[in-house]
Structure 1
Amino acid sequence: MKSLIRKLREEFGLEIRDEEIIRVALTHTSFREYNAPINFERLEFLGDSVVNLLVSEYLFKKYPNEKEGELSKKRSYLISEKNLSYLAKKLKLNEFILLGRGEELDKGREKERILCDTFEAFIASLYLQLDFNSLRNFFNLLLDEYFPSEFLDTKTKLQEITQEKFKVTPEYVLLEERGPEHDKEFEVGVYIKGKLMGLGKGKSKKEAEKEAAREAIERLGEE
């Protein structure tokens, strides 16, 4: 675990004062029962809320024009078991988890649920000893490094591009709707500063919008 602590201090510049609480965060309940006020399960409970707060604030600031529904979708994506376990692996927490013999034999270090819970407990162990700004900066760095815009849908990526280049948001216009009620096809155009930049077709408006955004991204890349 010393290499992890060293990485947190030297690479991320975190002032780690309590190494023991990090060890507790990496000690799964299958390894040993903790009846102390601070234990793996209690840290995981706290970490779940801290991660939710950090991700919510990150998205709130990163996407100032997004509606609540879209922000909620992005948050659900980022805090999913799959993605939190992915972050745990990137930090190599799986190498330091203390597991019971049964979980060790059952490849517990590769289980998404265990890795996700461990990541949340780990974040709680940092929350309890760092100032919030330091924790926020560390967490945002993880998201920026491991979840770049390539992970987001085409509409989100196009919006990021247009806001950066033109300081405007794309406008999606339904151009045509054809076919019977049970088998409709939609055609949508996406306009940037009044200029048609992409066309998309799909069985739903959302699908057509994503295709239009994809074409617009490709076109902007060629200009």
Structure 2
Amino acid sequence: MVFLDSRRTKQLETCLQKLGVSDKLAVNLELLDLALTHPTISRDKNYQQLEFVGDSVIRLVSAEILLETYPNELVGEFAAIRSILVSDRTLAELADNYGLDRYLLMTDSVAQDTMGRVSWLADAFEAVLGALYLSRKNMTLIRPWLDPSLLKKAAEIRSDPARQNYKDALQEWTQAQYKILPDYRVIEKYKDRSHHQRFFAEVWLKERKLGSGYGRSKKMAEQEAAKDAFFSSVYQEVEKV
């Protein structure tokens, strides 16, 4: 048994409040504490096993939501949308929305690792889902607060012709229109107000700049640049190169 002091207990209860879990007494706080403990804090007592469970939880919840909301959709479309819903990028975004990093026990080196932030945020979010599921062995502590977020994200994905992979979408468009690939240039990297390393990327087609964007990593910056280019170029019909 793990002893939780009053300070940690209060942190975990605040975390549950942020998530929107109303039945706090039904939550196993020891499991939740484990879910919010990074492996760098403890090699044996950390979130990795709960993350394994949470991975299955988020896939099942996403599948149920899609089936309930879009009963006439094709299975292939379900799979495409769910792949984005359960991606590290989406899970990290959800974790950010709930401020999960405030309750995650981790070393300073991890906290300052902006390049790996998406990964450990997504892992912790899955672990929290695993802890909540195992607290009751069902979804009653999860779906009431998670459903609205996933429904909103699913609607965004369905209305997005690029399915949020703008680099692939832009590449398909430039190949179809001009038979050439776009060129990405990371021209600047800097630290923001929180001293996090960030990148600035531009995407070019021959001598024309199609778009630009910022990100916490080179890949994320390129994705944002592609998104900017995709909408300004595909939907507004840029001049021929």
TM-score of the superposed pair, with normalisation by structure 2:
0.56
Whether the 8 Å contact between 1:25 and 1:122 is mirrored in structure 2 is: yes
Q: In the TM superposition, what are the counterparts of 1:5-154 in structure 2 within 5 Å? A: 5-6=13-14, 8=16, 11-15=20-24, 16-34=26-44, 39-107=46-114, 111-130=117-136, 131-144=138-151, 146-147=152-153, 149-153=155-159
Give CA deviations for 1:58-102 in whole Å, capped at 9, x if unaligned: 111111011110000100111111100001111111111111232
1:53: how far off? 0.7
Give 1:129's aligned amino acid: S
Change (3 A) 1:3 1:55: same
- AA partner of residue 32 (structure 1): S
- Structure 1 residues not aligned, in runs of 5+: 156-181, 184-213, 215-223
Can you list the C-alpha shifts for 1:150-184, whole angstroms capped at 9, x where unaligned? 443268xxxxxxxxxxxxxxxxxxxxxxxxxx87x
Change (3 A) 1:60 1:147: same
Q: 2: CA distance between counterparts of 1:27 and 1:9?
A: 19
Q: In the alignment, is the contact (CA less than 8 A) between 2:62 and 2:82 conserved in 1? A: yes
Count of equivalent residues: 153
Task: Decide whether aligned partners of structure 1 residues 63 and 7 sit closer, same or farther in structure 2, where only a CA change above 3 A counts.
Answer: same
C-alpha distance in structure 1 between counterparts of 2:157 and 2:93, whole Å: 13
Distance 1:106 1:17, change over 3 A: closer
The code of the aligned residue for 1:121 comes to A
User: Residues 56 and 107 of structure 1: is their aligned pair in 2 closer, same or farther, counting only changes over 3 Å?
Assistant: same
In the alignment, residue 14 of structure 1 is paired with which amino acid?
Answer: D
Q: Root-mean-square deviation (CA), in Å?
A: 2.7
Larger Rg: 1
